[in-house]
Chain A
Amino acid sequence: MTQDRSEMSEDDDDKQSPPLDLRSAAIAEPSSSSSSSSVVVVVDSTPNKSRNCISSSSSGSLTSQPFPDHVLENVLENVLQFLDSRCDRNAASLVCKSWWRVEASTRSEVFIGNCYALSPARLTQRFKRVSSFVLKGKPRFADFNLMPPDWGANFAPWVSTMAKAYPWLEKVDLKRMFVTDDDLALLADSFPGFKELILVCCEGFGTSGIAIVANKCRKLKVLDLIESEVTDDEVDWISCFPEDVTCLESLAFDCVEAPINFKALEGLVARSPFLKKLRLNRFVSLVELHRLLLGAPQLTSLGTGSFSHDEEPQSEQEPDYAAAFSACKSVVCLSGFRELMPEYLPAIYPVCANLTSLNFSYANISPDMFKPIIQNCHKLQVFWALDSICDEGLQAVAETCKELRELRIFPFDPREDSEGPVSEVGLQAISEGCRKLESILYFCQRMTNAAVIAMSENCPELTVFRLCIMGRHRPDHVTGKPMDEGFGAIVKNCKKLTRLAVSGLLTDQAFRYMGEYGKLVRTLSVAFAGDSDMALRHVLEGCPRLQKLEIRDSPFGDAALRSGMHRYYNMRFVWMSACSLSRGCCKDIASAMPNLVVEVIGSDDDDENRDYVETLYMYRSLDGPRKDAPKFVAIL
């Protein structure tokens, strides 16, 4: 189940990552002599300690024991192998030099939350046996066109370095990276045992790159293209998979905006006995889906493609879609419906009772169409939909889906002044019916503090609360007051909250609540909120676990930015766009904090001498500023 959830969650993040993924990465290579006590330099950035502290290794004590170091390290190696969590591994690596060395040689899964925090060379120098690699690039606001294209986050230097260092690499998972077809070709050529390629929100490549991977990675188990922009190079990549039986377990290409060779796909599915997850794009019709289902009843996760016809079907020959679905006893995760013809929706009834995950977020379904479906989905844990289901639909969800953990409601009409079919009514209903809710993303046009407070009280398990009131600066539409109390209640009552996105009319008071109560908040998104610098100061001086801060169009200036200097080394990044920052202040911070890369990103018309900062993106880095910054990025 967790597997499927991580499939769907766009911003799934390893919740265990410590504030400092890189803290132990700064440890210098230990000297070769093991008998004398060596010095280990640790960049220790916990707030109360000085930034650099030096601790000596314990090898002095080892020599007094009868066992030589290498035997101890062998034992250590066998033990450390069982450590999976990178949080634990980071901690273990700080114990002493020899633990550091052993941990580095046994870590097989590496997570890098910011591709510019370190150079590829540093990665390969420290970790020698990496088989799985997760890398994240652009900051999230780049998804909303707040960053010019060609900003960076190129996969090329990573793949070329790893090609030489990790020939046994099996898994690559990228998010918001710029990946070219050449990169994919190099990947396919360099890693003979390559098994899993996951590209989330990536761009820069096309179907030709995918074709190369399909063709050359003979052990490929997972090829997941999720919400990525894939150019149509008019290459029949499906036909490029090898002719014999494949190892494929998961194939997701719902984001590929290009027609596919269906006959080849059918053949591929037929010779992929291990295939469990198949997510089709909108160029696969209902009839074609039907044929695939008949051939692959073992599927557990299905993206249904368009769920419609191109031409008029003849009713006598119409396939029995419901029968095909009922043959799929194992389907627990359903998505797609890209061009839904709602009259065919009842075909999915047979699988509803088993569903744990349902994604209707591309389907414009009315409440009347929706209710009969959802009433069968008692086991549902993850649900994504458009607001077209209305408050009424959400009430139906609340009545039936008692196991719901994650809810995302997207706007069918994403404009500020659109009608808005969901409101506080839906939110209130969900809070009352779905007590186990952990994660919510909710777009609406109107909201009340009362409903948000109700959710804070009814859903104590909430870890992710993202509310987007689409009209900027909208207050509680019943009382006319700011939304301070609502969000305040969320941070106060939801003790497990790690991620928060705020909206609506918010004063500094809301931020005071966040600073005071947001003890575990790691990610905070702010837009069009706050009155003054105090708001940001509350957050920077509170929120001890804050890692990722993204702010846009809010009246925060230099004083606020300066107030956070004591903690920027402990954060992954800070993004501030359309705020009130001056170049001078950013420069000061850059000078005062040499391990912080301070990028000022302007539009093309920017005059370099202008003092106003349009976008600030800053992040810690072990290897200094990047060399591939485009012209519109100034690194101070």
Chain B
Amino acid sequence: MEGCPRNREIGPKLLDLIPQGRKWYQEDKNNIDQEKKLELRLGPPGGDEEDHSAMKKKNNNTETRNIKMESEDKSFQGFNSNHFSSSNKTSQKRTAPGPVVGWPPVRSFRKNLASTSSSKLGNESSHGGQINKSNDDGEKQVEPKREGMFVKINMDGVPIGRKVDLNAYNSYEQLSFAVDKLFRGLLAAQRESSGGEGEEKPIIGLLDGKGEFTLTYEDNEGDKMLVGDVPWQMFVSSVKRLRVIKSSEISSALTFGCSSKQEKMRH
């Protein structure tokens, strides 16, 4: 770069960039332009950034206090430009300071306060309906108006129950996939400890009755149903808890239930 004739035309700016990159920004007094310059400079991910990343880091972050104050893009500077991943997390940050996983660092059980106490007392309770709980389960879909909807899910043969956030999914397929992820390892461990093979097998066929296991749920009236019959949104609004049962036991599980207080026949 130093030897390039074209750069000499541009003048000292670029040359200065190398030994003392700060000047690049000190010369710019116009804050409005600076924000735009930042966006331009960052450009698309990958490519150039890799070579200049180290330099950019220094350039971005030193002597740019004014920019940092105003710009919400600060989070995209420096370290983010080094994120080679194309995860939604990074791409979200580019457009708005969207929620970040685990920030602010408040444990999940402290996040549900608005829903339990907002009706009792008004102080900040106007925020009650707007708490963003997507931090708990990944932040790929940000829906600030909806709260996380956690339902318990148990699986036959696995003593440990889990919880799933139904608001994180949009379809039965996604839910089914999540169930596989949640329980695959646990099921294998359980089988291993009871003398079977501990190999992890994917849990498939949860929705069509063809797999070893089937996904069922208990709705708000206490009825036990197979998952997948009603439209997704209707399911989400009525489901109270989930259970993964052995497909061979479908009929008995649905008629007699397992430790449910209300036993209703499924029609």
Contacts of B58 in A (CB 8 A): 531-532
Does B247 sit within 8 A of A, measured CB to CB?
no
* Inter-subunit contact A340/B121 (CB<8 Å): yes
Of residues 554 through 601 on chain A, the ones whose CB sits less than 8 Å from some CB of chain B are 554-555, 557, 578-580
* Inter-subunit contact B160/A227 (CB<8 Å): no
Roughly how many angstroms separate A10 CA and B14 CA in the complex, as a whole number?
52
* Inter-subunit contact B121/A415 (CB<8 Å): no
* Inter-subunit contact B124/A364 (CB<8 Å): yes
Listed stretches B32-40, B105-113, B201-209; interface member: B105-113
* Inter-subunit contact A365/B123 (CB<8 Å): yes
Roughly how many angstroms separate A598 CA and B54 CA in the complex, as a whole number?
24
Contact of B61 among A308, A342, A532 (CB under 8 A): A532
* Inter-subunit contact A612/B68 (CB<8 Å): no
Roughly how many angstroms separate A507 CA and B78 CA in the complex, as a whole number?
13
Roughly how many angstroms separate A610 CA and B65 CA in the complex, as a whole number?
33
Contact of A443 among B78, B106, B113, B137 (CB under 8 A): B106
Contacts of A233 in B (CB 8 A): 154, 159, 161
A340-381 toward B: CB 8 Å interface, digit per residue (1/0)? 111000000000000000000111111001000000000000
Roughly how many angstroms separate A397 CA and B29 CA in the complex, as a whole number?
45
Does A429 sit within 8 A of B, measured CB to CB?
no
Of residues 65 through 103 on chain B, the ones whose CB sits less than 8 Å from some CB of chain A are 65, 68-69, 74-75, 78-79, 82-85, 87, 97, 99-103
Does B132 sit within 8 A of A, measured CB to CB?
yes
Interface size of A by CB at 8 A reads 81
Contacts of B135 in A (CB 8 A): 145
Does A208 sit within 8 A of B, measured CB to CB?
yes
Roughly how many angstroms separate A141 CA and B105 CA in the complex, as a whole number?
8
Roughly how many angstroms separate A490 CA and B112 CA in the complex, as a whole number?
33
* Inter-subunit contact B79/A364 (CB<8 Å): no
For the A-B complex, the count of residue pairs with Cβ-Cβ distances under 8 Å equals: 190
* Inter-subunit contact B127/A418 (CB<8 Å): yes
* Inter-subunit contact B117/A364 (CB<8 Å): yes
B191 to A: closest C-beta gap in Å: 13
A521-534 toward B: CB 8 Å interface, digit per residue (1/0)? 00000011001100
Given contacts A443-B104, A470-B104, contact A208 B159 (CB under 8 A): yes
Does A319 sit within 8 A of B, measured CB to CB?
no
Contact of A415 among B53, B99, B102, B125 (CB under 8 A): B99
Does B146 sit within 8 A of A, measured CB to CB?
no
Contact of A416 among B79, B101, B104, B107 (CB under 8 A): B104
Does A486 sit within 8 A of B, measured CB to CB?
no
Interface size of B by CB at 8 A reads 60
Roughly how many angstroms separate A358 CA and B104 CA in the complex, as a whole number?
24
Roughly how many angstroms separate A234 CA and B85 CA in the complex, as a whole number?
43
* Inter-subunit contact A555/B61 (CB<8 Å): yes
* Inter-subunit contact A610/B121 (CB<8 Å): no
Roughly how many angstroms separate A234 CA and B154 CA in the complex, as a whole number?
11
Does A624 sit within 8 A of B, measured CB to CB?
no
* Inter-subunit contact B161/A421 (CB<8 Å): no
* Inter-subunit contact B65/A472 (CB<8 Å): no
Residue of B nearest to A445 (CB): B104
Of residues 473 through 492 on chain A, the ones whose CB sits less than 8 Å from some CB of chain B are 473, 475, 480-482
Roughly how many angstroms separate A300 CA and B181 CA in the complex, as a whole number?
45
* Inter-subunit contact A366/B123 (CB<8 Å): yes
* Inter-subunit contact B100/A553 (CB<8 Å): yes
A167 to B: closest C-beta gap in Å: 23
* Inter-subunit contact B62/A531 (CB<8 Å): yes
* Inter-subunit contact B65/A612 (CB<8 Å): no
Does A242 sit within 8 A of B, measured CB to CB?
no
Roughly how many angstroms separate A418 CA and B99 CA in the complex, as a whole number?
12
Does B116 sit within 8 A of A, measured CB to CB?
yes
* Inter-subunit contact B116/A339 (CB<8 Å): yes
Does A14 sit within 8 A of B, measured CB to CB?
no
* Inter-subunit contact A416/B127 (CB<8 Å): no
Roughly how many angstroms separate A85 CA and B84 CA in the complex, as a whole number?
47
Residue of A nearest to B78 (CB): A555
Of residues 457 through 473 on chain A, the ones whose CB sits less than 8 Å from some CB of chain B are 468, 470, 472-473
Residue of B nearest to A234 (CB): B259
* Inter-subunit contact B160/A180 (CB<8 Å): yes
Q: List 5 A-B contacts (CB under 8 A).
A: A144-B102, A231-B160, A415-B99, A507-B61, A614-B85
Residues on A lying within 8 angstroms of B by beta carbon are 141, 143-146, 150, 180-182, 201, 204-206, 208-209, 227, 231-234, 255, 282, 308, 338-342, 361-366, 369, 386, 388, 390, 410-419, 421, 443, 468, 470, 472-473, 475, 480-482, 505, 507, 527-528, 531-532, 552-555, 557, 578-580, 603-606, 610-612, 614, 630
Residues on B lying within 8 angstroms of A by beta carbon are 53-54, 57-58, 61-62, 65, 68-69, 74-75, 78-79, 82-85, 87, 97, 99-111, 113-114, 116-118, 120-125, 127, 131-132, 135-138, 152, 154, 159-162, 181, 185, 193, 259
Known: A206-B161, A531-B61, A555-B79. 11 other contacts (CB 8 A): A144-B101, A150-B185, A180-B159, A233-B159, A233-B161, A338-B116, A443-B104, A527-B105, A531-B58, A578-B79, A611-B84
